[in-house]
Structure 1
Amino acid sequence: MSKLARYLPILAWGRSYDRQTLVSDGVAAGIVTIMLIPQSLAYAMLAGLPPEVGLYASILPILAYAIFGTSRTLAVGPVAVISLMTLAAAGTVAPPGTPEFIAAALVLAFLSGLILVLMGVLKLGFLANLLSHPVVSGFITASGIIIATGQAKSILGIQASGEAMPELLATLTRNIGATNLPTLIIGLASLAFLFWVRKGLKPTLMRLGMAARPADLTAKAGPIAAVVLSTMAVAAFDLEAKGVKVVGEIPQSLPPLTVPLFDLSLWQQLIVPALLLSVIGFVESVSVAQTLAAKRRQRIDPDQELIGLGAANIAASFSGGYPVTGGFARSVVNFDAGAETPAAGAITAVGIAIAALFLTPLLASLPIATLAATIIVAVLSLVDFQTVRTVWRYSRADFAAMAATILITLGFGVEPGVMAGVALSLALLLWRTSRPHAAIVGRVPGTEHFRNVARHTVVTDPAIITIRVDESLTYLNARWLEEYVLEEIAEQPQVRHVILMGSAINAIDASALESLEAINHRLADAGIRLHLSEVKGPVMDRLARSHLLADLTGQVFLSQDNAFSTLLSAPDDAGAMTPREDLWLARGLI
């Protein structure tokens, strides 16, 4: 049963489910449902899909995640960045809104689901760590700017197109003279109202006597008021006849059964975008899930999260939806509203299904300008210039990668931006790994501690040099280590002993082993002995299977203080431990 629960977390939390938990989940689901209805419609239109597709993507995918996901409060469904990536990817196949475009969106969801499930089964959740946080933050910031700019056309009631800022701004500028005044009034009024709801409604309600939590939840459900008021205004003043574009008729139905098109050439065309979409969606989702889980001292399983999100996307592909992931705003609302288990998501799915069956006729006169305002207010919270400033102060290398990701995404579009982000993350990782931090260390007076000679007043000896490398030794930095050691020796001709301090070395691969052997031989040719200190047990186990310990010109010491004291008082190595004895001692055998 425990092994089955590894892949079906519902078996774990479902056993303790009771009436009190149901009430908590039901309240949270009701609030999230109210929030999700306009968001689902808006994000589907952002993705270039009919509005009902957003509702379909918020039913079966949520149920699938409730069964397979591990987060108790993550709210899965359409989100802004994934919607924009879907538009960019499916737009290479067919124009938005066409049957071919919708088919491509289904294939994207299916491929993304397969990729995520496969990664989860193979326990490849760690691969998401290859995307650095500054790069992900930069990509999301740039995407938020593009999305907000793209929605300006709906606020103005004009035509505009383009996946990148230059083209978007050019088409907006060319067509701004055709602005529809009633649409502009609705759009600006909706924007002003939604911004006020986000910042001012909660304090106002609290001043009127409402408790903090109900006031907060009411404020988060504020977009529904914008939907209701703007829809009533369109119907009352017949604004559709005056050029105000509305959502139009939405089918009253549950999600249809759909089968992703099996077309090998289409799959080949969409596999790379699906992979990028999967990685970005997982990174965004798992970050939210981990943050919320930590607040309740819960934990999530990243590998099982891959399976949960994969199942959600596969469910979307068979129910007329499009790619989904965990949304930040909805998840926070779900958390604040008191959701205790993924059943809250399942109840939300039921609420969306009821809305799709019975409430869609009420949305026919909903102005698209209001949905655009909803998107703009939501995505501007993703634009984080504070992080840009923080990264600039902290690390110029991370800032360069972040700035490049932002500029490439803004200048060339979402797909080139995310590919550049992945490439820059990997390049930054490789650069840092290939040039690890290393220091010459000496003993702090009166202690057994050794610190960097450039930072501390320490005891050293001209005949002894200790090098501490703060990184695992791999093929990426093996040659660098050789050059570093030999450069230090060249600058200090009086050195007779080199101690490589291994307290921060967690692994030594075959290439690094060859470099250590080469260093040992080259130092021996110069009359210098190579010693090792504080080598970790697993690393020593591997070294014991090589020729390095047998050929080592020096000794292996259990501690750096023992190495320094022994060589300082007995340069001829009297009393030093043999490599094999030190290995036995490290294992606790002597």
Structure 2
Amino acid sequence: MRQYFPILDWGRGYDRATLSNDLIAALIVTIMLIPQSLAYALLAGLPPEAGIYASIAPILLYAVFGTSRSLAVGPVAVVSLLTASAVGQVAQQGTAGYAVAALTLAFLSGGFLILMGVLRLGFLANFLSHPVIAGFITASGVLIAVSQLKHILGVEAGGHNLPQMLGLVIAHLDQVNLPTLVIGGAATGFLFWARRRLRSTLARLGVPPLLADILTKAGPVAAVVVSTLAVWALDLQARGVRIVGDVPQGLPPLTLPGLSPDLWRALLLPAILISVIGFVESVSVAQTLAAKRRQRIDPDQELIGLGAANLGAALTGGYPVTGGFARSVVNFDAGAETPAAGAFTAIGLAVAAIALTPLVYYLPNATLAATIIVAVLSLVDLSILQKTWRYSRADFTAVAATILLTLGLGVEIGVASGVGISVLLHLYKTSRPHVAEVGLVPGTQHFRNIDRHDVQTDGTLLTLRVDESLYFVNARFLEDLIQKRVTEGCAIRNVVLMFSAVNEVDFSALESLEAINHRLRDMGVGLHLSEVKGPVMDKLRRSHLIDGLNGHVYLSQYDAWHALAHPSQVRAV
């Protein structure tokens, strides 16, 4: 039961000291999440209360089913942007159908995540390369920041990609609302300063570290309070400043997703993409934080925890959620020791939903936009282009293509392209496996690449070390390589395939090995294997390859050298 309900594991040792640490962490995270949740709902195209609703039940459910002690679940910037993009294709923003579509998207995402968790498919996330994910998140951060300029300027603009967004903003510059621009610009500048300088400023003034940390995290709250009072006191609403307006007061309502088959078909692919991206981001953060405390997480159980959180969001007026990087780091740094910190955060947000929502009536949208911009620009990491360029041109191509496609064509095409590029990159890298010709290091029993080391070789013996598992993508590559190397009239009489790095040989590769064996037999050349791993050998014995092999299988490469090398042909390379 503890495997499926991790709360039964960490809950056994819960004590007063742990409770105290979790409560402090929950206080800090709650202060941070109140304005952030409202802002991310705005980004998703939903009423502001949807952000609060999506941060209550999902956190409670993750505390029961999740395995990370520090992960904070709720609305995040990238998933909010993906939600707006997906739901905007099937419903008009501001309508009841839009909210129902968002609930349905969360429901489908939750169901897909739980299905993956039950089937133990967490490993599938490994097929998304980190450079591609980094490129997508960077491009999404730029798109999110640019999409909020309309709220900072107080103009009507939209668009689904960077050229459209910038074009529409520029076209409406003559309609900029000056009070809105002042509020948005001041809030953005203050939040940047608070993030970078407030903690050190408070430390110089002698403020205790814990209080300084709380005040720093409360920077967005300060911006909300000041800008709301300014709009109320100066009646800026009458001068065109757009405000949040009425926010329903009370706990999240019980809701149901849409049941229309057409709606499900339209949202199924976006739900899968959101689930995969959210899971990759979430599990990366969870593993990083768990490693710092020598803890571990179970990726398959994380799928169930995140799936339950999304189902909870769908049934309580929310939209898709996942583990957020910023809030999780804050939760970790604040001293959270168990998922109970998240449960206390949910309680704090529930209190805010009951008691504080009337206070945000005059909250300007420009302040929420400033909160989003400051939060998402930390996701932008253009240095990934320089790093991948220096390390791997293939990875650089994948990152650059993902960034350009996301910026130029929109997030849905960008994330789909990122998934496709990740798979193609894997196939490309494994389709041309590294195969090295090796020779004997003098005075040892070790064999190394003849192009990198001073070794001994035999003109009649060709030894190739295959540094990749063999499967249908790269099987013909090995065939062609041996065919080119063993040509008519050459002195080679034996070929040894060194399988020390081969972990798998699929049926296509088996057929290629059999074809190599037949060709070499016709040429009067022996084919031998060495250092074959046990599981690989077990599979080969179930085929006709070993019985029909035009040679032998050697336990070690040195045994093959000792049996096949001719002293008169050995030379130094």
TM beyond 0.5 = yes
Deviations 1:167-223 (A, max 9, x none): 111110111111111111111111110000111112112222245555344323321
Matching residue's letter, 2:337: E
* Superposition deviation, residue 567 in structure 1: 1.3
1:90 alignment counterpart? 87
Distance 1:484 1:311 in 2: 51
2:285 aligned partner? 288
Q: Matches of residues 115-514 of structure 1 in structure 2 within 5 Å?
A: 115-212=112-209, 214-490=211-487, 493-514=490-511
Contact 2:127 2:423 in 1 (8 A): yes
When the two structures are superposed, what TM-score results if normalisation uses the length of structure 1?
Answer: 0.95
1:75 is aligned to 2:72: yes
The reply on whether 1:52 has 2:49 as its aligned counterpart is: yes
The whole-number CA distance in structure 2 between the counterparts of 1:287 and 1:492 is: 55
CA distance in 2, matches of 1:536, 1:195: 56
1:552 aligns with 2:549: yes
Q: Report Cα offsets for 1:455-476 as digits up to 9, x if no partner.
A: 1221111111111111111111
Q: Residue 36 of structure 2 aligns with which residue?
A: 39
1:586 counterpart residue number: none
Q: Which residue does the alignment assign to 2:571?
A: none
Partner SS state of residue 182, structure 1? helix
Cα distance change of structure 1 residues 331 and 243 upon mapping to structure 2, 3 Å threshold: same
Identical counterparts, % of pairs: 65
Shift of 1:491: 8.5
SS of match in other structure, 1:468: strand
2:229 is aligned with what amino acid? M
Structure 2 Cα separation of the partners of residues 417 and 500 of structure 1: 42
Could you say what secondary structure the match of 1:347 adopts? Answer: helix
Equivalents in 2 of 1:570, 1:221: separation in Å?
78
Tell me which moved more, 209-218 or 461-470.
209-218
Any idea what SS the aligned residue of 1:332 has? helix
Deviation at 1:447, TM superposition (A): 2.1
SS in 2 for 1:550: coil
Partner letter of residue 485 of structure 1? I
**SS of equivalent residue, structure 2 residue 448:** strand
Q: Quick one: distance in 2 between partners of 1:347 and 1:212?
A: 22
User: In structure 1, what residue type is equivalent to 2:212?
Assistant: A
Deviates more, 1:485-494 or 1:555-564: 485-494
Return the offset for 1:138.
0.7
> Which of 7, 15, 20 in structure 2 is aligned with 1:18?
15
Whether the 8 Å contact between 1:121 and 1:307 is mirrored in structure 2 is yes
> For residues 120 and 21 of structure 1, what CA distance do their matches in structure 2 show?
29
TM-score (norm 2): 0.97
When residues 188 and 561 of structure 1 are mapped into structure 2, their CA distance, relative to the original with a 3 A threshold, is same
Unaligned regions of 5+ residues in structure 1, if any?
A: 572-590
1:110 aligns with 2:100: no
What CA distance in whole angstroms lies between the structure 2 residues aligned with 1:405 and 1:213? Answer: 41
Any runs of at least 4 consecutive aligned residues in structure 1 with deviations exceeding 4 A, and if so which?
Answer: 211-214
Deviations 1:502-538 (A, max 9, x none): 0100011111111111111111111111111110011
1:541 and 2:553 aligned: no
CA 1:462 to 1:83, structure 2 compared with 1: closer, same or farther past 3 Å?
same
Which residue is 1:64 aligned to? 61
Q: Secondary structure at the match of 2:438?
A: strand
State the distance in 2 between where 1:211 and 1:451 align.
Answer: 60
Counterpart-to-counterpart distance in 2, 1:225 and 1:345: 23
Deviation at 1:437, TM superposition (A): 1.1
| Aligned residues of 1:43 and 1:78 also touching (Cα < 8 A) | yes
